[in-house]
Amino acid sequence: MWKGVRSLATKLIDATNDEEPLPEVEGLDYKLGKIQYAIGYDFRTLTLTVTIFRACQLPAKDFTGTSDPYVKVLLLPDKKHKLLTKVRKRNLNPHWNERFVFEDWPHHKLLEKTLYFQVIDYDRFSRDDPIGEITIPLNEVDLTQKKSTWRFLEPCKESRGKLGELLLSLCYQPAVGRLIIEVKKAKDLKAKDITGTSDPYVKMWLMHGNTRVEKRKTTIKRRTLNPIFEETFIFDISWEKIRESQIHVIVMDFDKLGRNELIANKKLQRKNGGGGGGGGGGGGGGGGGGGRQ
């Protein structure tokens, strides 16, 4: 059934006018931005055409105050064959203007399908970060009229983990007995406040066996489930003690009036064998891996 995807290729089309006013937008505004698209069907050639024009007012996902968005397109319930637009670097109002063509799809078969768009922030060093999504049941679309539509993006229903993810960078320098840990960012943290958010910070203990030796702590990031820390910490650990040492990483929610609450924790320790080099790791809901979804 997927022979009509043209090898998952996309075709560039003419750009839309930047200065035209935004028309009426469908859906509820979740403050995740909006996306413009068009859907058309040729009854003669049995071809479904999906055009992703642009998005605007996307939230910033990077510490630079911007995002690197792209769009994933699925024809549900099939999740194996995904189509991707190009990544637009450092852009909260990206233009894609890309067309996807699905050939040899009888009309009655398409009425059983649902189009799915997910806007995603590309991350070179971690897992890509979903921004928002929309679903379009094709039995609710007039396929005889290919018109441009704006829709508000909705929160993504599939989360990557119940507790979230924490991205760390670790490097051990055996010549000087120094462990360098960079706390980069966290995402999709569990909300602990009644406002639906948290005030997260990261606390780290250097432990020798079961004994706490040194503590380090990041700054508190207010009212966010996707905090950017970019803070570096140094622990002095001799090569003789590195084998019995571990770092206990704890993500906490700061509470001004009550007790601080635990969000997640993870113990990091050196694996048996290997040298003294450094690598990246994750805590909380799991570490990150690079690449587009």
pLDDT, tens digit (0-9, with 9 covering 90-100), for 143-164 = 888 889 999 998 887 644 467 8
Name residue, tokens 């690598």: 279
Q: Considering the chain, what is the average pLDDT of its residues? A: 82
pLDDT above 80 (res 269):
no
Side-chain-facing half-sphere of 13: CA atoms under 13 Å: 18
**Contact indicator for 158, 135 with CB cutoff of 8 Å:** no
Give residue 93's pLDDT: 96
Handedness of CA 170, 173, 176, 177 (dihedral sign): positive
Listed in sequence order, the residues at least 6 apart from 91 whose beta carbon sits closer than 8 Å to its beta carbon are 66, 67, 68, 69
Cα 218-221-223 angle, rounded to 5 deg: 155
- Amino acid residing at 89: K
- pLDDT bin (cut points 50, 70, 90) of residue 195 is confident
> How far does the chain reach from its first CA to its final CA, in angstroms?
22
Superfamily of domain 3-152 in the CATH hierarchy: C2 domain (2.60.40.150)
- Which CATH number is correct for 165-284, 3.90.480.20, 2.70.70.10, 2.60.40.150, 1.10.274.10? 2.60.40.150
Q: Outline which parts of the chain fall under CATH 2.60.40.150.
A: 3-152, 165-284
Cβ count near 130 (within 10 Å): 23
**Contact indicator for 166, 266 with CB cutoff of 8 Å:** yes
Listed in sequence order, the residues at least 6 apart from 233 whose beta carbon sits closer than 8 Å to its beta carbon are 180, 181, 182, 183, 204, 216
**Higher pLDDT residue, 145 or 4?**
145
pLDDT above 50 (res 175):
yes
Contacts of 214-223 with C-beta under 8 Å, sequence gap 24+, read 216/181, 218/183, 220/254, 223/193, 223/195, 223/197, 223/198, 223/199
pLDDT above 90 (res 281):
no
Q: Which of 60-64, 128-132, 200-204, 214-218 has the lowest mean pLDDT?
A: 60-64
The token pair that represents 18 in the structure block: 């930047």
pLDDT above 90 (res 133):
yes
Give residue 272's pLDDT: 54
Q: Is 288 helix (H, G, I), strand (E, B) or coil?
A: coil
Give residue 62's pLDDT: 76
pLDDT above 50 (res 289):
no
pLDDT above 80 (res 75):
yes
Q: Which of 70-79, 80-89, 235-244, 280-289 has the lowest mean pLDDT?
A: 280-289
- 91 to each of 56, 60, 69, 179, how far by Cα in Å? 9, 9, 7, 36
